[in-house]
Every structure is written in C-alpha cells, then in structure tokens.
Structure 1
Amino acid sequence: MTLNNAVPLLFFCILAVSLSSSSVQGRPASFLDDFRITWSYSHIKQSDGGRAIQLILDRNSGCGFASKSKYLFGRVSMKIKLVAGDSAGTVAAFYMNSDTNTVRDELDFEFLGNRTGQPYTVQTNIYAHGKGDREQRVNLWFDPAADFHTYSIMWNHHHIVFYVDEVPIRVYKNNEAKNIPYPKLQPMVVYSTLWEADDWATRGGLEKIDWSKAPFLAYYKDFDIEGCAVPGPASCASNPRNWWEGTAYQALTAMEARRYRWVRLNHMIYDYCTDKSRYPVPPPECIAGI
C-alpha cells in the first residue's frame, strides 16, 4: 500500500482511556493527534459535520488509517456502518497488529461483503506469537449497512473477546498453562481499512466485485480506546487495578455466555476447530477449550 501526501483530515473524535488506575492516562484527543492515515488520503473524508469519517473504495484505491500509539491490553471499539447494497468482494476491517513479522500478534475483525439481500459475514482471526489460521465466521443477524453498530475487542490477561454490540461472538482463552501461545507481550496498533478482495472474500471468491456500483462507502465514528498506551508507564500492562482486569471481566457473565451460545448455534458458519480437511487433529487451543 502506498502513502499519499495530501492534507490531513479535519476530523475530531474522542479517545477515551481508562482512569481506573494511576498508571493509565487519559485525555480528550483529536484524529490529527492520535491517528494517521496509512493509505490514500483522498479516499477518507469527514462526514456528519466532522463527527464521523467516510471510507471510500473505488477502482483507483481503497484506504486505511491507524492509531499513532500502540496499546497493550484493554478494550478497543468503534461504531461502523458497512457498505450498503451490493457489497460483494469488499472487505472492511478493524484490527490490532503488533507490526512485527514472524512473531506478530494480531486480533482481526473482517467484514465480508455480499450480494444484495444476503447476510454480511464477520470473520475473526487471532495471531499469537506468529501463529494464525484461527478463522471463525459468523453471519450477522441484522443489516449492518442500515445503521451504526459497535464492534469491540476486549483483551486482558485472561481472555480475548470479540463483541458485536453487547453480544460476544468469539472468545480466545489464555491457556498458556497448557503451552498454548497467548498474546500478552507485544503492544498493538489499532487499524481500519476498506479494500477489494474479490479473490476470496465472498463465497470463496466466486462472487466478484461489481465496479458499476462503486464508489463503495463505509462510515466510522465513536472511536474508544481504553488501555495501556505504549510508550507509557511500564507498569501499566501488569497493573491488576486496570478495570479490564477486574473479576467481572475475567470470564463471560451468565448473560454473555447465553448470547455466545446463541451466536454459535444459530449464526456461526465456519470454525477452524471443526475443519477436519485443514486440521485432522484439532489444534491444541480447540481441545483446551477456546
């Protein structure tokens, strides 16, 4: 991806950082101060009077942005309204990445577009110490292009949870005691992109992008990062007083567990743990209970 040198966006948002412990600092911040455009300035525009940003995909380019800081543990969320209409072949992504190569850690939300009238699919993936290939796919139970919905990643020493609004759709537990890698040492940058991936995104690449429907538009607002910024106090990530390390966040609540079972029973369409063609023997984290 190439970087452009256009004038930055005049867009402002709130970056909220927890004040629940003395090692976590917070301040109101602007997009210009805390985020950077990583790909195609001309394809990211402010909208709604500067309260949201619009990402554009056309034949010329997609686009993306990222946080200037890295974060180690916490909760990251953003409200997204996905590409409307015929979105086949498009991918909107919200993810965290350590920006390291062979040992990278990464937590992925990827929203896979579809033909008009078919459900949007959310693919999640987790890289721990350089090992990925942990894809799960869930069909959303609502139209994510009709309105904004909140997508969140909760990451602490106990587990990683992906949420759609308040519904958990993916849980990855810390099973280091069973020699299973868990991302806990590398801080990560928060990224978001909109791009074309019709070689794999929709029905394995069978449905191609219809460029006559371009430009494809996605909208983002209400960014919220509550975590340990790096660089920052070295003691932050290990501080048990950080709110996301509290007892209430060390496992799913009873209500969350019911919602999680409902998603897995009714909306999950792919789970690498049960893909015997890829894994005749289930991966160790699947046996341990993710």
Structure 2
Amino acid sequence: MAHRRRPSLALLASWLAVIVIVLVSLLGKSSAAADFWLDEFTTDGDVRIDHDHASGQKVASLILDRRSGAGFNSTQKYLFGEFSVEMKLIPGNSAGTVTSFYLTSGEGDDHDEIDMEFMGNSSGAPTVLNTNVWASGDGKKEHQFDLWFDPSADFHRYTIIWNRNNVIFQVDGVTLRVFPRYADLPYPDARPMAVHATLWDGSYWATLKGQIKIDWASAPFVVSYRDYTADACAVVGHGRTDCPAGSDGRWMNRVPDDTDRLTVAWAKRNCLQYNYCDDGWRFPKGFPGECSRS
C-alpha cells in the first residue's frame, strides 16, 4: 500500500499564511465598509454595516422591530449640493412603515427640510414616495407619487439636488418634481442641513392615512442603503462653505431643462396621487403663494 506523504511544516506554514491573508483581506473590506459609514454618519437604533461582495458596495441596513426604529445622520452639514443614495426597500407587507432620505437643519419651529419619504404599503399596492420642502418652518408642500416599479426587488437611486434656484427630486435619474425659488416666498437657502435616513413606525399616517397599521408578525423590517454620495458645499465653520471644484457646472446652477420638463409632466399624468396645491380642504383660506405660479 502506498503511503501518503505528510505535508512539510514549511508547506503548512505557507498554507496558513495564505489563509491569514485571505481573512485579513475580507475583514479589511468589511472594516472599510464600517469605517465609511461610521466616519460619515452617527447612527441610532439597529444599524448594520456590511460589505456586499457580489456588487462590491458598502451597505448600511436599518432595522425596525417592536423595540425601536433606526437611522443615521451625517456628521457634516451642507449649504447646497447634490445628494444621492441607492436604496432597497422593505419587501412584502410594509404597511405602516416610513423610510426616508432627507436633509434638515434641525428640529426648531423655523427649521428647513427637504424630504423623500417612502410610505409602506400592503402587499401588491404601489409604494408612495412623499416629497416635501420646508423653509423657515413653513412646510405642507407635499407631492406624493406612486412608484412605477417595485422598490424592494432591487436597489434604485434617489437624488435631491438643492441649489439657489430650485430643489429637484429624482428617481433613477428621472426628474419627478421641481420646487422653484421665488424671491418673495420662503425658500431653504440660509440654514445648513445634515443628511438623514430613518426607518420608523408611521402607522398613524403612512398607509391610507393611517387606516392600515404595521403587522408586527412580519418584523423585523429591513431597508438597505448603499453608494451614498454628497457632491455638496460643506460648512467649515463661521458660516464659511467649501464647495467642490466644478460644482457650478454640475449642480449649483442647475435648472430644469426640456428633458426635466417632459419627465415632470409624465410623472404628473401617471404617478402623482397627491398635490398640496389641489387640497382646498387643507388650505381653506387660500393656497400657498407658489401654487398660482408653478
């Protein structure tokens, strides 16, 4: 009978070295993913940082259960910019949940805010994207859209462009809404804002105006974020901002072009399911000033 040769100590050592290198490499990728989110954001609740090796993307997942929701917010504040992230929403019955990607200057009565909120749905119903703009505490400017795809089946890109001229909301590069600036009306142009993302229980209003609550038997609910970018003017202290080179040509002077106007008109015809400028019950004393101009 032939005897198998035992591997030499030198060969075993080389194998162990290879294994260590592989493990260090994998851990390094995971650590890099964690470092990115932990360096850029503070977190609250159950936030899990992973590295998706299939796509090579860093992924931050927010978890909602009976105990609490979750969120993260940027440590940096900005005054104008283009903010973008890919998100994969809750599959199945997500009724009562609210997922968000937004900018805000804080919690005060005179705060500024720009919102993209995704209101959960019963299985099979469209997911509603709620967009809103607050300026000096003046809000109630919602446009709500039925998304034309399943946002839980894959990642999709959601973008807020905020400059001196307008706020532009995009989904997968398609402009759905433009909120223009008017010199005599409130506009968010003075208060620096941080970037936030949250997942929380909005049962009291999110789905059919609160008629359908969260089914906790389906918990935990998970929303994943990846490929976040902020091409923006960072506030660096004493009111000074540091704008990236070339921002004037990318987003600072961005206004709607012909393509934007076409896609906004398409979204209005096919996806818009609520427009505050049509809600006379909400504004019995007259619509906000911009309603008669846009």
TM-score of Structure 1 vs Structure 2, range by shorter chain: 0.7 to 0.9
The 5 Å alignment of 1:121-136 reads: 121-136=128-143
Letter in 1 for 2:87: I
Between the aligned partners of 1:83 and 1:196, the Cα distance in structure 2 is 13
Aligned partner of 2:25 in structure 1 is none
The answer to whether the Cα contact below 8 Å between 1:62 and 1:196 also exists between their aligned partners in 2 is yes
**d(CA) in 2 for partners of 1:246, 1:65:** 26
Q: Report if the CA contact (8 A) 1:161-1:172 is conserved.
A: yes
How many residues get paired?
260
Which residue of the partner structure matches residue 39 of structure 2? Answer: 33
Asked if 2 retains the 8 angstrom alpha-carbon contact of 1:95 and 1:107, the reply is: yes
Segments of structure 2 that go 5 or more residues without pairing to the other structure are 1-29
Partner residue of 1:21? none
Distance 1:183 1:106 in 2: 7
Decide which of 145, 153, 158 is 2:160's aligned counterpart: 153
SS of 1:204's partner is coil
Superposed displacement of residue 124, structure 1 = 0.9
Residue identity matched to 1:211: W
Work out whether 1:209 is the aligned partner of 2:214.
Answer: yes
Structure 1 counterpart of 2:26 = none
Contact 2:236 2:242 in 1 (8 A): no
Aligned position for 1:83? 90
> What is residue 98 of structure 1 aligned with on the other side?
105
Change (3 A) 1:90 1:136: same
Take 1:100 and 1:56, find their aligned partners in 2: how far apart are those partners? 23
- Do the aligned partners of 2:89 and 2:152 also contact (CA within 8 Å) in 1? yes
- Relative to structure 1, is the Cα distance of residues 82 and 241 closer, same or farther in structure 2, using a 3 angstrom cutoff? closer
Q: Is the Cα contact below 8 Å between 1:11 and 1:46 reproduced in 2?
A: no
TM-score under structure 2 length normalisation: 0.83
Which of these residues, 253, 256, 263, is aligned with residue 260 of structure 2?
256
- Asked whether the equivalents of residues 81 and 252 of structure 2 are also in contact (C-alpha less than 8 Å), the reply is no
Map Cα deviations across residues 34-88 of structure 1 (whole Å, 9 max, x no partner). Answer: 2111x21x34342525721111111111100011010110100100000000000
CA distance in structure 2 between the aligned counterparts of 1:191 and 1:243, rounded to whole angstroms: 26
Change (3 A) 1:246 1:73: closer
Counterpart among 214, 217, 234 of residue 229 in structure 1: 234
1:240 Cα deviation after fit: 9.1
Who wins on radius of gyration, i.e. which is larger? 2
Within the candidate set 71, 85, 90, 1:64 is matched to 71
Per-residue CA deviations over 1:195-218 (Å, capped at 9, x if unaligned) read 111111000011111111111111
Match of 1:20 in 2: none
Deviation at 1:168, TM superposition (A): 1.3
Structure-2 change in CA distance of 1:245 and 1:48 (3 Å)? closer
2:18 corresponds in structure 1 to none
Identity across aligned pairs (percent)?
39
Instruction: Give the structure 1 partner of residue 193 of structure 2.
Output: 188
Structure 1: tracts of 5 or more residues without a match: 1-8, 14-28
Distance verdict in 2 for CA 1:245–1:151, change over 3 Å: closer
Return the alpha-carbon distance in structure 2 between the equivalents of residues 68 and 202 of structure 1.
31
Aligned to 1:243: 249
Residue 33 of structure 1 aligns with an amino acid whose one-letter code is D
Equivalent-residue separation in structure 1 for 2:216 and 2:165 (angstroms): 44
TM-score by length of 1: 0.84
Counterpart of 1:194, as a letter, is: L
| Mapped pair 1:268 → 2:272 | yes
Any idea what SS the aligned residue of 1:184 has? Answer: coil
Hey, what's the Cα distance between the residues in 2 that align with 1:10 and 1:91?
A: 29
**Are the equivalent residues in 2 in contact too, given 1:82–1:145 (CA < 8 A)?**
yes
Residue 140 of structure 1 aligns to which amino acid in structure 2? L
Q: Is the 8 A contact 2:49 2:60 kept in 1?
A: yes
Q: Secondary structure at the match of 1:30?
A: helix
Structure 1 residue aligned with 2:33: 12
Instruction: Give distance in 1, aligned partners of 2:194 and 2:130.
Output: 19
Q: Is the 8 A contact 2:104 2:196 kept in 1?
A: yes
Coordinate RMSD, CA, aligned: 2.2
Question: Could you say which residue in structure 2 is the equivalent of 1:197?
Answer: 202
Residues 240 and 246, structure 1, Cα contact 8 Å, conserved in 2:
no
Residue 117 in 1 paired to residue 124 in 2?
yes
Q: Offset of 1:244 from its aligned partner? A: 4.1
